[in-house]
């Protein structure tokens, strides 16, 4: 018997994953607004978040949260990190026992610094938590471009059982039991993407972008391994792969934020014009709190934090990086 899946959240990535799932197994997506659910059911589109894209005609949609949650043998959460805890609180009365819960969010909880699977464990004990992450730009995947992702869970048996639900012909899914590394890679790279975007917006060139990405990967690996992730995870799809996509694509929300900052706009102006969440803005604050806690130097992330939260400018950020002393690339720092 096929496992039934439900996706909570009708944004671009949640809708894309739901459409992929629907081609493999009975799937229902929950959208907050009834008109979005009606559009998915009748037109098989979600024009607000995926303009011009056609969704799987097998995908069912509802604006009834309890209906979607109680439907699921596997629950996928396509909500931003800041909304994860309240979403889990809302679904707790309806979720059936032992249903795996897979997060799509690439961020850390403000205040606690928790990863999404840590929140799932706290709020829904007994439900196996996991994360789907990697270089996954929603618009390219829904349009049928080849891509790969990582499904990370601690239990090897469960992750292998769930893998076929997410995979399709051109969407390859790999498995990993390093949940810590996969989640941290997905969160940290958004901060570096803002830095890369700032350089692009200021016209700094490819050399600058390449330097930011490479040294950003070093920062991410330093903090991530100290926190329990495996170094090879940060060199894989959930780390370097995701960073390359997010730091270079015009479809990346975090890169877009950086580009606009590089052009001289303020962070408040940029966020006000966006209809989706750029996780790196809030994550930059959490990352610097973690860097202080673990005594790890993260100069690029620090400059992004100052731009996003202390009123610094992109120009000042790059001046700050130029003042940072360079050492041997073989050293941990």
Active site (catalytic) residues: 189
68, 69, 70, 73 alpha-carbon torsion, rounded to 10°: 100
How far apart (Å, rounded) are the C-alpha atoms in residues 46 and 98?
A: 31
Q: Could you tell me the strand order of the sheet in which 27-30 lies?
A: 60-62, 27-30, 5-8, 74-77, 101-103, 129-133, 147-153, 171-176
Instruction: Give 233-291 as a DSSP string.
Output: HHTSIIIIIHHHHHHH-TT-HHHHHHHHHHTT--HHHHHHT-SS--HHHHHHHHHHHHH
- Half-sphere exposure in the Cβ direction for 71 (13 Å, CA): 20
Question: Residue 217, SS3?
Answer: helix
How far apart (Å, rounded) are the C-alpha atoms in residues 178 and 155?
A: 10
330, 183, 174, 251 alpha-carbon torsion, rounded to 10°: -90
């Amino acid at each position: 018997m096929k496992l039934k899946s439900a996706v909570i959240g009708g944004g671009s990535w949640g809708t894309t994953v739901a459409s992929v799932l629907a081609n493999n197994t009975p799937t229902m997506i929950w959208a907050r607004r009834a008109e979005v659910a009606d559009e998915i059911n009748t037109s098989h589109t979600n024009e607000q978040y995926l303009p011009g894209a056609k969704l799987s005609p097998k995908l069912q949609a509802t604006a009834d949260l309890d209906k979607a949650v109680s439907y699921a043998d596997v629950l996928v959460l396509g909500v931003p990190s800041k909304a994860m805890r309240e979403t889990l609180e809302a679904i707790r009365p309806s979720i059936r026992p032992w249903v795996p819960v897979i997060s799509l969010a690439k961020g850390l909880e403000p205040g606690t610094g928790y990863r999404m699977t840590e929140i799932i464990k706290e709020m829904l004990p007994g439900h196996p938590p996991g994360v789907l992450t990697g270089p996954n730009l929603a618009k390219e995947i829904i349009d049928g471009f080849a891509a790969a992702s990582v499904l990370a869970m601690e239990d090897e048996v469960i992750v292998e059982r769930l893998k076929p639900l997410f995979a399709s012909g051109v969407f390859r899914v790999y498995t990993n039991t390093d949940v810590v590394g996969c989640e941290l890679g997905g969160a940290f790279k958004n901060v570096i993407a803002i830095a890369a975007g700032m350089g692009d917006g200021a016209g700094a060139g490819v050399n600058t972008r390449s330097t930011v990405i490479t040294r950003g990967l070093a920062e991410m690996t330093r903090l991530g391994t100290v926190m329990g992730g495996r170094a090879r995870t940060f060199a894989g799809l959930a780390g370097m792969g995701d960073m390359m996509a997010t730091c270079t694509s015009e479809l990346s929300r975090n890169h877009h934020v950086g580009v606009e900052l590089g052009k001289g706009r303020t962070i408040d102006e940029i966020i006000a014009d966006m209809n989706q969440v750029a996780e790196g803005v809030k994550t930059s604050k959490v990352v610097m709190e973690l860097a202080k806690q673990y005594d790890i130097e993260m100069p690029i992330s620090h400059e992004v934090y100052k731009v996003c939260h202390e009123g610094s400018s992109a120009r000042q950020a790059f001046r700050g990086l130029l003042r940072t002393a360079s050492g041997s690339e073989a050293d941990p720092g």
